[in-house]
Amino acid sequence: MDCHYSISSNELYSMIIVFLGLLYLGVWIMIFNLIVHLTFRGFWIGIIGLGSVYPDGIQYDRLKYNAKFTRYLKNKIPSLESLALNLDKISSSIFSFTFLIFFMFMSIGVFIAVLVAFNLIITTIINIFSLKAIVFAGLSLGRILAALANLALILFIVGGLLSVVDFLFQGIFKRIPWRWFAVPYFHLSRFYRIISLAFIYEAIYYSLISNLSKKVVGVILIGYLLVIFSVFNFSYSEFIYYPSLGDETTPSVMSKRHYQNFLPNDIPYLLIHPVIQSNIIRDEPVQLFIPYLVSDNDSLKARCPDAQPFRELGFNSKSKFNIGGKKGEQTGLTISTNLPSHGIENTAMVLDCLANFYTISVDDSIYTNLPFTFFKHPNHNEPGILTYIPTHQMPKGYHILAVKANRADATPSYISFWLQ
């Protein structure tokens, strides 16, 4: 019975993207709040300086306003001392609130990282110790371990959701007096306090919710998050007749990400889109490099079930462990440092699978028998496949190269070039 436990490549890729997105969002939150903090702190310094120059504050008698305006201004305008004190409280609270929000996003990121690490560890154990082939009480040991791991993951996610609700509603579960709930949740809370790194920022959190009105904290916290997400979801533009970045998948838009001569040299840039050598081709073949994306692993496996991967997903060891033996042999632990070779035939099968995974066309001509080879691009050693499209029969002038992965949700990449 074949059993394989692993997190799919698409899910792993999505989790990494979510984690990096949360980190990116957290950094921008810190930058935004730091600007707000410096603004209030600069205002505070100005008030302190003004108070030292004019310790008596506003001299209403020297303004010579009528009694009605004088009473109104005295009631509405605070003294320099009280204004400085309030600004100091606001500035300090903003800085503390900044780190509370930042670490809250990092907690979500760490939670996702723990999920990914747990999956990779279980996958590695099953693969290295060949647990898929070991049968215990009629069940594969790998399947038993996979079922237990899935159950642990479900409980871990449910507990995490309870902790998030408890955090947002300022300890709603911590107020429940029933012992049958309070005792387990106490230990659960201690566990997630460490896993989520809450011990780093809990002093800020409990100080705010214990000194301010719970409604005020809730409104500020939820309102702030809504404002942040709104800022990232809205943009202002005056170029209303110019296509956006997402429209680069149309033939009428030329994107520099598809040309090696346009790649930036001053900042790291990883290739995730097809690339040719230049936007102008001079009497030479078009060198087309298609990066290998881990998000395509599942599609490749379903498309080419006979092509064997060169290694297991996750951490891999140069040694292979086998627990047990064949029927009639002594059970024990054997270690083999020589992994079985996949051979030239399987390498060619995998390459053919990758090549046929893409539909490549120039203008109205579809190319089906292009020679491909595995290649690591010199940009940043990105793995992928490389091929050459002949141009000696193409007319001089403008052409459009289209590359599309053969999966339902794929969008084609259009690469225009000029043939001289």
Taking only the tens place, the pLDDT of each residue in 352-366 is 998 899 999 999 999
Q: How many CB atoms lie under 10 A from the CB of residue 299?
A: 19
Tell me: pLDDT of 56 over 80.
Answer: yes
Tell me: pLDDT of 199 over 80.
Answer: yes
**In the prediction, which pLDDT does 387 show?**
94
Long-range contacts from 105-110, C-beta under 8 angstroms, 24+ separation? 105/22, 105/23, 105/25, 105/26, 105/29, 106/22, 106/23, 106/26, 106/197, 107/196, 107/197, 107/198, 108/22, 109/18, 109/19, 109/22, 109/23, 109/26, 110/195, 110/196, 110/197
Give the model confidence (pLDDT) of 290-313 as tens digits.
999 888 888 888 888 888 888 766
**In the prediction, which pLDDT does 210 show?**
85
Give the model confidence (pLDDT) of 71-112 as tens digits.
999 899 988 899 999 898 888 888 788 888 888 888 888 888
> Which structure tokens are listed for 187?
């230990």
pLDDT band, very low/low/confident/very high, at 317 (cuts 50, 70, 90): low
8-state DSSP, 324:
S
**In the prediction, which pLDDT does 333 show?**
39
**In the prediction, which pLDDT does 398 show?**
94
**In the prediction, which pLDDT does 119 show?**
76
- Average confidence score pLDDT of the chain: 81
Smallest Cα–Cα separation from 159: which of 178, 179, 187?
187
> What residue ranges do the domains of the chain occupy?
9-233, 248-316+342-419
Look up the pTM and report it. 0.60
Distance CA 380, CA 400 (A): 26
**In the prediction, which pLDDT does 299 show?**
85
Q: How many CB atoms lie under 10 A from the CB of residue 5?
A: 20
Distance CA 95, CA 113 (A): 27
Tell me: pLDDT of 227 over 50.
Answer: yes
**Contact, 1 vs 135, CB < 8 A?**
yes
pLDDT band, very low/low/confident/very high, at 245 (cuts 50, 70, 90): low
pLDDT band, very low/low/confident/very high, at 342 (cuts 50, 70, 90): low
Distance CA 256, CA 363 (A): 19
CA 269 to chain centroid: 17
**In the prediction, which pLDDT does 391 show?**
92
**In the prediction, which pLDDT does 129 show?**
65
**In the prediction, which pLDDT does 235 show?**
72
Compute the Cα dihedral for 340, 341, 342, 345 and give only its sign: negative
Tell me: pLDDT of 334 over 50.
Answer: no
**In the prediction, which pLDDT does 375 show?**
93
**In the prediction, which pLDDT does 374 show?**
94
Long-range contacts from 403-412, C-beta under 8 angstroms, 24+ separation? 403/274, 403/288, 403/290, 403/358, 403/359, 403/360, 404/358, 404/359, 405/296, 405/299, 405/357, 405/358, 406/303, 406/356, 406/357, 406/358, 406/359, 407/296, 407/299, 411/249, 412/249
Give the model confidence (pLDDT) of 116-154 as tens digits.
778 777 777 766 666 666 666 667 777 777 788 888 888
**In the prediction, which pLDDT does 388 show?**
95
**Average pLDDT of span 326-350:** 57
**Average pLDDT of span 63-78:** 90
